[in-house]
């Protein structure tokens, strides 16, 4: 079963996709992973659709050099804008983070009022809204972009006054809409779970799209019979397009342990 030994390819605009890698490592502990973070061109969340699609195509091409058996777009912005194009150009199974997150939220909501937070590009794409309404057209979706959350996470300001004040400003309008479920539509946001939960209150369920995506990957690998047989020791490789020091420094916060070796790619 040759396909079983190949790695899962994961890409993100930067470091946030490591929350998806963490979920994959926990759910699929015998799978090898090749991670590509386009740190030189981060953030994607403020860029145009054309640019996001172009960068995403290049990222998939890079991962395919390592013979990956499937690709996870661990970036909500790329998943929002580039997924249909990527599926058209490449034969390898490609999994985005939008549909798994939308599906989990639809299953979770009781009052059919779902909130979505993400980058400006993700929110403008209305990708979550469309995915949710395809699953259940009766659901009302309320979206809000939270551009300051990413720099807060990268600074390590995960709680405290500044973080709470910003979270209140972003989330209060959603709370007023009486949402009972909130999709964390950016891979950085799970690190702010504690603060977000405090602001929205205990009655609002938080959906981490990355965690849901790991379950979807398992299903895809099983369905195509390329799940690892668990005989070989899994290998993890990390590539970035800019100076690896920052990635290494912050990365352990996302993964829960020190990354070790990070390889820099020039002009991928």
Closest C-alpha to 174, from 146, 209, 211, 216: 146
In eight-state DSSP terms, residue 7 is P
Closest C-alpha to 216, from 2, 24, 12: 24
Cα–Cα separations (whole angstroms), residue 162 to 77, 88, 167, 206, 254: 26, 43, 9, 21, 21
In the chain, what are the helix, strand and coil shares in percent, each to the nearest 5? Answer: 50, 15, 35
Q: Which residues are part of the catalytic machinery? A: 75, 186
231 CB-side CA count, 13 A: 6
Structural contact between residues 24 and 217, judged by C-beta atoms closer than 8 angstroms: yes
- With H, G, I as helix, E, B as strand and everything else as coil, classify residue 71: strand
Closest C-alpha to 238, from 74, 55, 18: 18
126: left (phi over 0), alpha (psi -120 to 50) or beta: left
- With H, G, I as helix, E, B as strand and everything else as coil, classify residue 35: strand
12/59 Cα distance (integer angstroms): 8
Give me 165's structure tokens.
């004040």
Closest C-alpha to 82, from 46, 50, 35: 50
Structural contact between residues 69 and 3, judged by C-beta atoms closer than 8 angstroms: yes
């Amino acid at each position: 079963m040759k396909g079983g030994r190949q790695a899962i390819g994961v890409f993100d605009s930067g470091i946030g996709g490591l929350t998806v890698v963490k979920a994959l490592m926990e759910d699929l502990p015998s799978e090898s992973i090749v991670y590509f973070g386009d740190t030189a061109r981060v953030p994607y969340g403020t860029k145009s659709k054309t640019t996001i699609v172009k960068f995403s195509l290049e990222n998939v091409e890079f991962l395919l050099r390592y013979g990956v058996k499937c690709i996870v777009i661990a970036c909500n912005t790329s998943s929002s804008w580039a997924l249909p194009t990527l599926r058209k150009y490449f034969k390898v199974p490609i999994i985005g983070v939008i549909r798994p997150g939308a599906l989990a939220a639809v299953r979770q909501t009781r009052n059919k009022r779902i909130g979505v937070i993400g980058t400006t590009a993700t929110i403008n794409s209305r990708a979550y809204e469309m995915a949710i309404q395809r699953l259940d057209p009766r659901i009302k979706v309320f979206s809000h972009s939270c551009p300051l959350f990413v720099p807060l996470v990268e600074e390590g300001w995960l709680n405290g006054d500044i973080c709470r004040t910003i979270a209140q400003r972003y989330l209060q309008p959603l709370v007023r809409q009486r949402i009972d479920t909130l999709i964390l539509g950016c891979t950085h946001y799970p690190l702010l779970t504690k603060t977000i939960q405090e602001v929205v209150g205990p009655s609002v369920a938080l959906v981490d799209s990355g965690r849901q995506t790991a379950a979807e990957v398992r299903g895809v690998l099983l369905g195509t019979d390329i799940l690892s047989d668990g005989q070989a020791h899994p290998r993890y490789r990390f590539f970035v397009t800019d100076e690896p020091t920052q990635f290494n420094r912050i990365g352990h916060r996302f993964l829960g342990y020190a990354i070790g070796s990070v390889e820099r790619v020039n002009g991928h």
